[in-house]
Structure 1
Amino acid sequence: MSEQTATNATRADYCAVAIAEAFRGDGERLCNPIGNLPLIGGRLARAAFEPDLAITDGLATLTANTPAVGRPDTDRVVEHWNPYRRMFELLWNGRRHVMMGASQVDRYGNQNLAAIGDWHRPKAQLLGFRGAPGNTISHTTSYFIGNHSPKALVESVDVVSGVGYDRAAELGPETSRFHEIRRVVTNLCVIDFEATDGNGVNCARLRSVHPWSSVDDVVAATGFELAVPDEVPESRAPTTDEISLLRNEIDPDGLAAREVPNE
């Protein structure tokens, strides 16, 4: 594919590419993103540079092509029947990378999808724990947060749905065997967990900033101490070929822009 950088990329395009980059190197793993922009980014990875990724149609099959997100009637090339019970055959050996949303994420990658406020009398009831505990213990997990703010990136999550590095370390080496919180992609930046705290536990590090953002913007919008390297690169721009894939094949209805507006 062409490596020529696109000049017409939107903020949503940058986020889609950052999500795609989270799946780089995953090879034949099941790419299992949840939500429109994660789906768009995961399918972009498959179409652009990770052709061996296994992707689902969101229902009961794995597809050999890259169907458009949000169009269930899009023509699919089915390569594998994959109902719910068969999914576990792909999951038992940890060969999966799931990207979920998060209402809260903290410095160690603990995630909250369940409730805001005190557990006994929460201010807001959210989706619930869903599959987050098993996802984070058994598989590589990443998160997408469309509104980077101190309310979303918090010092301590109100409820632990997904397990972060500090809690995984407390559970022992068997838990850490498959545990990996790889990335948090937001509308301002990309965060990884390649820094360590004073006890040697992995913690959040600023990996790159999107071109409309800055290190100061990210630090001000983050509710915990974020490790910031001396030099923070700008997030990779989409190529012209990737823009073509996004516009014409993967996201023809512009769903990504609804989550990250170009303003």
Structure 2
Amino acid sequence: MNGREPTRAEFCVVACAEAWRGDGAILAGPMALIPRLGARLAQLTFAPELLLSDGEATLEHGGTVEGWLPYRAVFQVVASGRRHAMMGASQLDRYGNQNISCIGDWSRPAAQLLGVRGAPGNTINHVVSYWVPRHSPRTFVERVDMVCGVGYDRAAALGTPANRFHEIRTVVTDLAVLDFATPDHGMRLRSVHPGVTAAEVVRATGFALAVPDDVPQTRLPTAEELALIRGRLDPDGLREKEIR
């Protein structure tokens, strides 16, 4: 590792890694580069029991194949609550409802996006976190145009046992880490990345964000983590292209 100071992308990798802390032997489902780097970093440091798929049919640890997980078996893992996915979001509201399908009225949208895909099943069947590389009022909205991932208000309306595995754990963005640790499960500012203020995050959020009196700074990477990120996990520095 050289002496360069940690970058914003590296803060985000570590923040994503922290999302899986304490999960135990479950399947991680990172769905973008920085979340995948975070999951691999967690596995190589504080969460060696975390399971990671190569996206095909095997489980890997540090580049070594350690198990077999064919596609047909993934649905059993999902349905039993034994996965923690980190998905993307085109829109998120204060209760964690997510939209990745369309912008505007669903019957005649202004923009067609990915589609609902696996978001409903993921969010109701196991823990989900989100990665948002550009924190802005266009993404953090008062009301999503279409609900794909289920937020806390809708999960509460479902009641038990349908919502027994529902948990929106963390939202990591290029500015901050957010969670839902409030009485009504409204989104809360957990930490700001170095160089970012709470006021900047509030301005970049399109709804009233819960802000504690004392907002800590996102944890810095350790020397070991930086060495792993830069020398082993992403030596080509592709992580820097994911952050504006």
Q: TM-score, normalised by structure 1?
A: 0.89
1:238-257, Cα deviation, whole Å (9 max, x unpaired): 00100011011111221211
Matches within 5 A, 1:93-108: 93-108=80-95
1:138 counterpart residue number: 125
1:73-96, Cα deviation, whole Å (9 max, x unpaired): xxx421112121021232232011
- 8 Å CA contact 2:43–2:61 kept in 1: the answer is no
User: How many residues are treated as equivalent by the alignment?
Assistant: 242
1:188-209, Cα deviation, whole Å (9 max, x unpaired): 000000012xxxx311000000
Q: SS in structure 2 opposite 1:235?
A: coil
Structure 1 position 37 matched with structure 2 position 34: yes
Rounded to whole Å, the distance in 1 between the matches of 2:163 and 2:74 is 23
- 8 Å CA contact 2:91–2:141 kept in 1: the answer is yes
Rounded to whole Å, the distance in 2 between the matches of 1:163 and 1:91 is 15
Rounded to whole Å, the distance in 1 between the matches of 2:231 and 2:54 is 18
Matches within 5 A, 1:182-201: 182-196=169-183, 201=184
- 8 Å CA contact 2:125–2:166 kept in 1: the answer is yes
Rounded to whole Å, the distance in 1 between the matches of 2:21 and 2:61 is 18
2:198 counterpart residue number: 215
1:53-86, Cα deviation, whole Å (9 max, x unpaired): 0011122210132xxxxxxxxxx42111212102
1:176 counterpart residue number: 163
Matches within 5 A, 1:19-38: 19-38=16-35
1:68 counterpart residue number: none
The residue identity in structure 1 corresponding to 2:212 is P
Rounded to whole Å, the distance in 1 between the matches of 2:176 and 2:165 is 26
Matches within 5 A, 1:146-157: 146-157=133-144
Following TM superposition, by how much is the alpha carbon of 1:100 offset from its aligned partner in structure 2, in angstroms? 0.5
Rounded to whole Å, the distance in 2 between the matches of 1:141 and 1:130 is 14
2:48 counterpart residue number: 51
Residue in structure 1 matching 2:77, options 64, 75, 90? 90
Q: SS in structure 2 opposite 1:206?
A: strand
Following TM superposition, by how much is the alpha carbon of 1:214 offset from its aligned partner in structure 2, in angstroms? 0.4
- 8 Å CA contact 2:79–2:126 kept in 1: the answer is no
Rounded to whole Å, the distance in 2 between the matches of 1:90 and 1:176 is 16
Q: SS in structure 2 opposite 1:174?
A: coil
Comparing both chains, which one has the higher relative contact order based on Cα–Cα distances under 8 Å and sequence gaps of 6 or more? 1
Q: Which runs of 4+ in 1 moved over 3 A?
A: none
Structure 1 position 127 matched with structure 2 position 114: yes
2:102 counterpart residue number: 115
Rounded to whole Å, the distance in 2 between the matches of 1:257 and 1:177 is 37
Rounded to whole Å, the distance in 1 between the matches of 2:78 and 2:97 is 21
Residue in structure 1 matching 2:233, options 243, 250, 253? 250
